[in-house]
Each structure stands twice: as structure tokens, then as C-alpha cells.
A and B are shown apart, each in its own frame.
Chain A
Amino acid sequence: MIKNTFKTHKIIISIFTLTLAALLYVNQQVLIYQMGLKIKDNHQVYSKIVDRNRILVYNVLNLKSPVSLEEKLLAKKVELGMPHKWQVVKLESSPKKFVSKTIVKKGLFANLFVVSREAEASPNVF
């Protein structure tokens, strides 16, 4: 009798454990699915924003293009052209002393997080 009860308990516990494991598995799968959908939705939003940004960048490039600028300026009877030498005012570049002083003034912490020159223009090669 005792032996049978013990066996029954064992079976019940096994079934319970298995059911619990199965439920956990299903729950996990559902969670993964939900998270996947969430990621997908977020990714869609992200790609939508990226696409929108790309369209806006294209619009800016379009507005900045010489053809578009010329069209607009010609409508106002302004013609674009390279300036003559006498039309250009050359400004002396800032002395090094002045530049270094300003960096020192920022303090140690500021300097730690200050990004130095990001890019340097290179002259055209002919």
C-alpha cells in the first residue's frame, strides 16, 4: 500500500514537473516571440526614421546643389561665380598661443572629454 502511494506520488510529481517544464518552455517561447515582435517593431520604427532621415538628407543635398542654388538665385537676378582675388578678404589664422591657452582654461576634466580634431582637410592631388 505504502509502496503504491509512494509510486503514485512519484508519478504525480513527475507529471507535475514535466508539465511545469513544458509550461515554462511554452512561456519562454511566447516571451521570445513577444520580444522578437517588439524588436521587429522597434527595428521598423528605427528603419523608418533612418529612411526619413535619408530622404531629408537628400532634400538638403538637393537644395545645396549648384543647379538648385543657381535656379533660385537667377530668379532673383543674382549670378553665381568664382570671386576675383580683389573680392576675397584673407583672415590670418589664430596664433598658436591663443589656441593652447583656451584649452588650458577648460580644466583637466574638460580636457579629458574634449575630442580633438575629428578630421583634417587634405589638399586635392593633381
Chain B
Amino acid sequence: MLLGARLFCVQLGAAKPLSKIASSQYKTFSCILPKRGIIYDRNLKELAGSINLKSIFMDPLMVEDKGSAAASLAEVLDIDADKLLHKLNNQKRFVWVARKVSPDEEMAVRRLSIKGVDFVKEPQRVYPNATLGSHIVGFVGVDDDGLEGIELKFDKFLKGTVGWRYGIRDAKKREVPGYEYREIPPADGNDVVLTIDSIVQSFAEKELDNAFKDRNAQGAMIVVMDPYTGDILALANRPTYDPNKIQEYPAEARRNRAICDFFEPGSSFKIVTASAVLAEGVVKPEDEFFCENGEFKWSRHTYHDHKPHGWLAFKDVIKYSSNIGTMKSAIKLEEKRLYRYIKRFGFGKKTGIELPGEIEGIIRHPREWSKLSLCSISMGQELTVNALQLACAISTLANGGYYVKPRIVSRVQDKAGGVIEKFEPKKMHRVIPEKTASELRKILRGVVEDGTGKRAEVDGYFPAGKTGTAQKIEPDGTYSHRKFTSSFIGFLPFDKPRFVLVVIMDEPRPAYYGGTVCAPVFQKVAGELMRYYKIEPKRDET
């Protein structure tokens, strides 16, 4: 009777909580992590992938001798024994010992056979090319979340969706296979295919690195672009970092300077002024300007040329990079018209490249300009740009006058190669007429042939370009005479350009002219590019 009554009570009163306890003892729920997508270059070479490594955890309540366990684990894993012991003394049932250890370390810990130690598989992001293209690819955190570069920008595509499984477990808390009663499999992340060519990236980085070291620069950037599609073939910065060992590098090295840093472009910007005056028809290439023998007073300010010149045709003004000649040509143009061209060339707004952290630079509206602004802006002062904006601007001249949106991702695809999202090249708007672009290409060819950019010459390929040497601004607001931003922007071959290159050096020393510091990098990278793409050299320009 008593037993019956007890059973009746249990069944009626305590059935629910008891069955809850029972189900928590034998039921198990586990997450199934998806595989993070791969990042490929344009030739489907892997730039970022994932491997599985073991992470080690402990149940401190199961450990018999915590002191010796901590000591032996610390020795094998090269971690702090005291910190580990402190963790083990907490009244928790789960403590991380080390995450994502190497297979050798895993084996060494297994050999210790410490009770309470267990292993769990975790994906580890790896970058087989180490520093190559690290600013583009970016990196992930310990939980596989994208923190920089493409890893961050395309995290939602790469990450995938976590799956889960309800199953039952045995007395030893092992999941019983074949008894899963509900399972949603994980959806693996999609792959991202970039427009980068890892070979081009490799030699661009090599030459940039050499120049960065030789010129004792604070920073350096290079962009290689297809002027017709806007495809970025290479984009590199110095200093750089290895995303496999991210903790060993300072935040400074991780900055993608080509899009995150802005600077005054200096004479490189004269391509915009020249485009504006030629397109508006206020100046012709043969028009002559008196360059005041290197000293020109305008509104209580004296401007200088780096070399004194007398009368120069406009094409020679650009060829010899005369500030005074450029200013005088800009004076013929109203402020608003120059501003309109600056905006059309894409300055003062983001290029929209598929990378995080891009800055737009600073271009003030003409109503905020002083009397000196027209002259200063015409020669690349009083405004700031980033390296990629310069690449887009020079592309406009190379492709016949169109602004092309730069792109670094060509498509997102699933594991079977099916396209999930495609990023088509985008021709945005016409900036200057074809005729003006053609005239400017010839003028810029003169810069390399006989002007400030002679060191950019590549025999048989006739490159064209523009040098720039901009004084940096000191903290007190004055222009520095010791710190410069040097640049060379150009394309080749000048008549039918295939590639655009932008090389920037931040504070090179002791030499600092763009033609001395950056043009040789252009020359080397451009030469390698031509050989890589098997473009036949020509005997003469015509």
C-alpha cells in the first residue's frame, strides 16, 4: 500500500522535475562548427584557409594533484605554471589550459595522462603566404571572427552557420552514436575570390620592401591596378605583419596605409589640375607660361619651384613639375571648376573598395578656400588623399577618361564553385574627354622620358607618370623641411596602358624626391609585370 502510495505521489507530484533531471543526465546537445571559407587569389591560389587543432581543457575537480599537474602541463606547453594553478584552484568544472596547440604539443600532453584533462577540436585560421598580402587578407580572432581586411569585411560569407545536434550520452558522458534524434548540419562558409595575383603581389612587395629598407622610410605603399576593370592586382604596405603570428606585431604594422592613411599628394596631384585646364580648354599643351625663375609672389605668399625655370610650354610645366607654371594655369580656371574636377576624379569620397577602414581624405568646399587655396590645391597642397584614390585618378587618364570603381573581390562562391555573389567591374562616369586623356598620356610620357621621372623608364614599354614630393606638416602647423611624402604614379605602356602603379614613401631619408625614391620601384615592378604577362617590348614609341 505504502509503495503504491509513494509511486502515486512520485508520478503525480515529482514526475516533471525528475524527468528533467534524468533527461539532463542522458541527453546531450552539441554545436557543430562550420568550416570557415577559403580566401583565394585570382588564380585560385589559397591565401587563407583553416586547419583543425586541439584545444586542451580541464575539469579541476577531477584532478588529483593540481600542483604537479599544473607544473607538468606548464613545462610541456611553455605556459606559466602559477597562472594555471590559480585557474585550477577555482571551483569551476571547466578551465581552458591552452587553445589551438600544435600536434606535437597535443601528443606530449596526451603522454602525461593527467586525469581530468581533455581535448576539443577547434579550427585554426592559417595563412600559407605569411606576410604576402596580409593587409588585404586580414586576420581572425581566437574565436574565428574576422578582425581585419577581407576576413572582417566578408566575415558573414566566410563564417558559415553553426549546426547543432541533440543526442544521448552514456554513463561516461560519451555521446552515443546512432542515437541522434535531431540534427541540423552546419553550413560551411563560402569562399572569397580576390582580384589579387599573388605573383604580382609577391614582386611588388619585394621591391617595396627593398626600397622601404634602403630609404629608411617610416612607411611605404604600392598599388597595382588594371585601369579598365579597376581590378587591384597588388596592394601592399610597409611595415607589414604575419597574420599567423599577429600578437608579435604592433598595431602600427597592421594598418592598411594604402586606404587608411591620408596625405598631401604634392605634385602627383598636378595630373588633376592639368586634366581640368586641358578639358575645359583654358590651356593647350603648347601654351607657354613664365615660371618666374623659380619664385612667385601671390597674395602675400611666395611660392617656389624646386628648380628655376623661365618660359615653359604647359606640357613642360608638367614634365619638369613646375609649381609656378601649374598655379598660373589653375588661375585661368575658377575655383569651382577645379573643385568639380577634383570631385569627379573621386577625391574627397571613399572609393568603395571592399576593404574595411577606408578614409575619404579632406577636400574643402571652395567657399572655405582662402585666396591661396587655388594655387596650393593646384599643386597638391591643402587637401589630403589616400593611395588608392591616386590609383583611381591615374587610371582615369590611362583608360581614356572614365572613373572606374576599384575592386579587390571578384566573387563569393560556395564549395562547389557556384557563384553566390559577383562583383562586376564598374565604369562609373566620364571625367575628362578621350582627347584630353590622350594628350595627358603624352605629356606624362614626357615626364618619364625627359622630366622628373626618368628613373621610372622601362626599356621597350614606354611608361608615363608623375612624380610627387610633398612636405609633411609639422605639429605646429608649418610645412616641414625634413619630412616628405614621396610618390610616383604612372602607367604603361603610355599609348595603350595595361597597368597602373602607385608608389608612395612616407618620410624617406636622406633622398626624398619622388623621382629618386619611388620611380625606381615603379620601374622594377613595371618591368616584372611586363615579363610576367609576356607583353612584347617595342622598339619605338610609335
The residues of A with any CB-CB pair to B shorter than 8 Å are 32-33, 35-37, 39-40, 47, 51-52, 54-55, 58, 61-62, 64-68, 70, 80-85, 124, 126
Q: Which of B331-374 touch A at CB < 8 Å?
A: none
Contact of A82 with B532 at beta-carbon distance under 8 Å, contacts A51-B52, A61-B46, A66-B132 already known: yes
Q: Are B531 and A65 in contact (CB under 8 A)?
A: no
Known: A52-B103, A66-B202. 15 other contacts (CB 8 A): A35-B178, A36-B176, A36-B178, A40-B177, A51-B121, A55-B103, A58-B128, A61-B128, A62-B128, A65-B129, A67-B132, A68-B130, A80-B206, A82-B527, A124-B42
CA of A36 to CA of B368, assembled, Å: 76
Residue interface bits B115-131, CB-to-A below 8 A is 1, else 0: 00000010000101111
Could you tell me the distance between the alpha carbons of A69 and B175 in the complex, rounded to whole angstroms?
A: 46
On whether the beta carbons of B132 and A126 are closer than 8 Å, the reply is no
Q: What residues of chain B lie closer than 8 Å to A68, measured between beta carbons? A: 130
Name 11 A/B residue pairs within 8 A (Cβ), A-sorted. Answer: A36-B179, A47-B52, A51-B121, A55-B51, A55-B103, A58-B51, A66-B129, A67-B130, A70-B206, A81-B528, A124-B43
Distance in Å: Cβ of A46 to nearest Cβ of chain B: 13
- The interface residues of chain A lying within 8 Å CB-to-CB of B532 are 82
Contacting residues, chain B, for A80 (C-beta < 8 A): 203, 206
Question: Inside 8 A of A47's CB, which chain B residues have their CB?
Answer: 52, 121
| Chain A residue with the shortest CB-CB distance to B202 | A66
Question: Number of residue pairs across A and B with beta carbons under 8 Å?
Answer: 77
- Judged by a CB distance under 8 angstroms, whether B139 is at the interface is no
B199 to A83, Cβ gap below 8 A? no
Which residues of B does A touch, CB under 8 Å?
42-43, 46, 49-52, 103, 121, 126, 128-132, 175-179, 198-199, 202-203, 205-206, 226, 228-229, 231, 498, 527-528, 531-532, 536-537
- Quick one: which of A32, A35, A83, A126 contacts B229, CB cutoff 8 A? A126
Chain B residue, CB-CB nearest to A61: B128
Please, how many angstroms separate the alpha-carbon atoms of A32 and B176 in the complex?
10
Residues of B within 8 A of A51 (CB): 51-52, 121
Name A84's closest neighbour in chain B (CB-CB): B531
* Interfacial chain B residues near A33, Cβ < 8 Å: 176-178
Shortest CB–CB separation between residue A59 and chain B, in angstroms? Answer: 8
A54 and B51 CA atoms in complex are apart in Å by 6
Chain A residues with CB below 8 A from B49, complex form: 54, 58, 61
Complex formed: what's the CA distance from A47 to B32 in Å?
Answer: 14
- Expressed in whole angstroms, the Cα–Cα distance for A35 and B176 within the complex equals 10
Q: Which of A55, A58, A67 contacts B202 (CB 8 A)?
A: A67
Whether B528 pairs with A82 at a CB distance below 8 angstroms is: yes
Top 8 A-B residue pairs of the complex, sorted by shortest distance between their CB atoms: A36-B177, A61-B128, A82-B531, A36-B178, A66-B202, A65-B129, A40-B177, A51-B52
